[in-house]
């Protein structure tokens, strides 16, 4: 089992996904992740736009905030899960579930 986002992203056929209702974030096969609703899960394939790669590589709030075009978003029905997102993707997240700075 792959337990970190970088190793997951570097593994062919895998993508890292996180959700406000499922913690912790995890690595899934692309085929399995494709079935996730983008309103509940944010996976690497859902991250688009010029800042997506830079934001995805930010692993903490201070690094994320220092990157142009990135926002730190947290959500949690079960625990708290946070992730750095491009501004293009922040607008896709349900505001009732996620708080972004």
Identify whether the C-beta of residue 72 lies closer than 8 Å to the C-beta of residue 65. Answer: yes
CA pair distance 37, 94, nearest whole angstrom: 12
Average pLDDT over residues 27-36: 85
What's the DSSP call for residue 9? Answer: H
- Which contiguous run of DSSP H or E holds residue 42? strand 41-43
The region, left, alpha or beta by phi > 0 then psi within -120 to 50, assigned to residue 13 is: left
Query: What pLDDT, in 10s, does the model give residues 50-96?
Result: 456 678 778 789 999 998 888 998 876 545 678 888 887 788 777 77
Task: Pick the closest to residue 18 from 101, 87, 98 (CA basis).
Answer: 98
């Amino acid at each position: 089992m792959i337990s970190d986002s970088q190793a997951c992203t570097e593994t062919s056929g895998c993508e890292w996904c996180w959700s406000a209702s499922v913690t912790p974030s995890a690595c899934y096969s692309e085929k399995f992740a494709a079935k996730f609703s983008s309103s509940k899960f944010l996976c690497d394939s859902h991250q688009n736009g010029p800042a997506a790669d830079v934001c995805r590589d930010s692993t903490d709030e201070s690094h994320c905030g220092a990157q142009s075009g990135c926002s730190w978003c947290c959500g949690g029905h079960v625990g708290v899960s946070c992730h750095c997102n491009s501004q293009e993707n922040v607008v896709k997240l349900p505001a009732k579930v996620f708080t972004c700075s």
